[in-house]
A and B are shown apart, each in its own frame.
Chain A
Amino acid sequence: MHVAHLSLADFRSYASVEVPLDPGVTAFVGPNGQGKTNLVEAVGYLATLGSHRVANDAPLVRLGAERAYVRGSIVREGRTTLAELEINPGKANRARINRSPVPRPRDILGLLRTVLFAPEDLALVKGDPGERRRFLDELLTARAPRMLGVRQDYERVLKQRNALLRSAAMARRAGGRGASLSTLDVWDSHLAVAGAELTAARLELTGALQPLVDKAYDEVSSGGGPTVLEYRASIGDEPLPADRRLIHDALMAAIERQRPSEIERGVTLVGPHRDDVLLKLGALPAKGYASHGESWSYALALRLASYELLRADGGEPVLVLDDVFAELDARRRERLAELVAPGEQVLVTAAVAEDVPAVLAGARYAVSAGEVRRTV
């Protein structure tokens, strides 16, 4: 698939901009702070309903405007679909497909799929477990939009359960009569049901990624592996069963074990919101042991593996490389460029033209002061 036209209104620094796009490579070149990343961020937003730079929508709307619009013509197997999003910070976003409103914005998920490489990706290897959970969850949603609902259900149960535990803990500390925990059992069972579904999906995904990450790491760094992904569940060190019902039972048992400390601390201590994926390089964990270059290779391998996985599901995703070449040494830069060059559509941003490897010749746009002008 590819984006044939991108149109923004009141999005980030753009009051209004129209960008026609072709399949193949397109590079946006311009000094920092001129709005290159804003363009690819908008493409990513159409695909994921989220930004890779910020957690909430307010910064996406141009200063002084009330809402932002992102429109993209998406071509897939010769058919063009127009996807439109109205971003209302603090309120519900609205979406239209081919000019007809759809009931929920998430109905547009799946029309466009992207794999985005960004300088922030290094945090997948070096950062907190939350980064790796987000990586898995976003890929889950890209593969099956239904998973967005599963994630939201789980987060809602977690919030309710934490609110209950917190008020109980506060009442205990105040020494007054303990706040009622009579509904805790109910939240336990809802947490286990939603948690088991999310955990099972992440386990399956980790298994599917494993061989692809290993292959991609080898291609990027020519040796140095093998890489091993190990899903680490908060409910215990033993490997999790693959079956959703067994995970549910294991979660219930762990919740029961943790109950005294949960009531003490007023927070939910077990469940997929505290899981992690251990990224191993050889026998050692990459975090803390891998060099800077190796960490970059690992991060690139994770993104390349997502690309392969989405491609195998059908519908080749759009590749977005946001300011990533400047971060890499010459060899990794060339390798990555060779690997992504055959993609159906590759969108690249760079501060200077020399940062774009020669293999990625194609259309060029100069971006400065909110103007996007085609140069090649």
Chain B
Amino acid sequence: MYEGAVQDLIDELGRLPGVGPKSAQRIAFHLLAADPADVRRLVNALVEVKDKVRFCTVCGNVAEADQCRICLDPRRDPSVICVVEESKDVVAVEKTREFRGRYHVLGGAISPIEGVGPDDLRIRELMTRLADGEVTELILATDPNLEGEATATYLARLCKPMGLKVTRLASGLPVGGDLEYADEVTLGRAFEGRRLLDV
């Protein structure tokens, strides 16, 4: 145990995701030794993120205004919506530069163990967006784990009467990897999702 302020800092850092007691201690002493201006900059960034950042009223992504940059961008295709669990998934899909439609961030996945049901996710907002008929395709990009799959199945069933094209991201082998290193479940999925080669 350290005295007063140092221990307080270590405790606070230790509450962050992915930071254990050892890392918290290392970060705390790094900050103690750092230039006061650097620390000030970090403090300002922390304060600003809470003050300025809001969630887009349309898609639920992080935004600095009422709507996020993607929802405001007129070049994005309004007829396709990609549904993801978290804002960080938006960034992941954006990096591909393959997708030109818009997003919908659910804020998690259905998981009764954690008490998360459809009402706790932004599903009602999604239904509202789909109601006017402008959207023709819904891409379900929830995580490929049990909860993500269950959420995708739930949404697909909910949207079925609307006559939308509903697609699910493919699961399969990592590009550039070796077949022999793939685990059995992934390889099994890849077999299920195999496709005809056009030659």
Q: Which residues of A contact B (CB under 8 A)?
A: 103-104, 145-146, 149, 153, 156-157, 159-161, 163-164, 167, 179-180, 182-183, 185-187, 189-190
Closest to B181 in A: A103
In the complex, the answer to whether B115 meets A160 with C-beta atoms within 8 Å is no
Q: Interface centre among A167, A186, A190, by most B CB within 10 Å?
A: A186
Q: Which positions 144-167 of chain B face chain A at CB distance < 8 Å? A: 146-147, 149-150, 153-154, 157
B21 interfacial by beta-carbon distance below 8 Å: no
Q: Shortest distance in angstroms between B62's beta carbon and chain A's nearest beta carbon?
A: 27
In the complex, the answer to whether B146 meets A180 with C-beta atoms within 8 Å is no
B132 interfacial by beta-carbon distance below 8 Å: no
Q: Interface centre among B110, B112, B117, B185, by most A CB within 10 Å?
A: B112
In the complex, the answer to whether A163 meets B112 with C-beta atoms within 8 Å is yes
Q: Shortest distance in angstroms between A194's beta carbon and chain B's nearest beta carbon?
A: 9
Closest to A168 in B: B112
Closest to A147 in B: B184
B92 interfacial by beta-carbon distance below 8 Å: no
A292, B71: Cα distance in complex, Å: 74
In the complex, the answer to whether B113 meets A187 with C-beta atoms within 8 Å is no
A146, B187: Cα distance in complex, Å: 11
B111 interfacial by beta-carbon distance below 8 Å: yes
Main secondary structure of the interface of B (DSSP, over half): helix
In the bound complex, residues from chain B placing their C-beta under 8 Å from that of A180 are 117-119
Given A104-B183, A164-B112, check contact A190 B149 (CB 8 Å).
yes
Given A160-B111, A160-B113, A161-B112, check contact A149 B185 (CB 8 Å).
yes
Q: Shortest distance in angstroms between B1's beta carbon and chain A's nearest beta carbon?
A: 20
23 pairs, CB–CB < 8 Å, chain A vs chain B: A104-B183, A146-B184, A156-B146, A159-B113, A160-B111, A160-B112, A160-B113, A160-B146, A160-B147, A163-B112, A163-B113, A164-B112, A179-B117, A180-B117, A182-B117, A182-B118, A183-B112, A183-B150, A186-B154, A186-B157, A189-B153, A190-B146, A190-B150
In the bound complex, residues from chain B placing their C-beta under 8 Å from that of A104 are 183
Main secondary structure of the interface of A (DSSP, over half): helix
The 9 closest A-B pairs by CB, nearest first: A164-B112, A163-B112, A146-B184, A163-B113, A186-B154, A186-B153, A186-B150, A180-B117, A160-B112
Closest to A156 in B: B146
Q: Shortest distance in angstroms between A180's beta carbon and chain B's nearest beta carbon?
A: 5
Closest to B147 in A: A160
Q: Interface centre among B118, B147, B150, by most A CB within 10 Å?
A: B150
A183, B112: Cα distance in complex, Å: 9
A160, B116: Cα distance in complex, Å: 11
In the bound complex, residues from chain B placing their C-beta under 8 Å from that of A161 are 112
A103, B181: Cα distance in complex, Å: 10
In the bound complex, residues from chain A placing their C-beta under 8 Å from that of B118 are 180, 182-183
A161, B112: Cα distance in complex, Å: 7
Q: Shortest distance in angstroms between A146's beta carbon and chain B's nearest beta carbon?
A: 4
> A146-B184, A160-B112 known; 8 other A-B pairs, CB under 8 Å?
A157-B146, A160-B150, A164-B112, A182-B117, A183-B118, A187-B112, A190-B146, A190-B153
Closest to B110 in A: A183
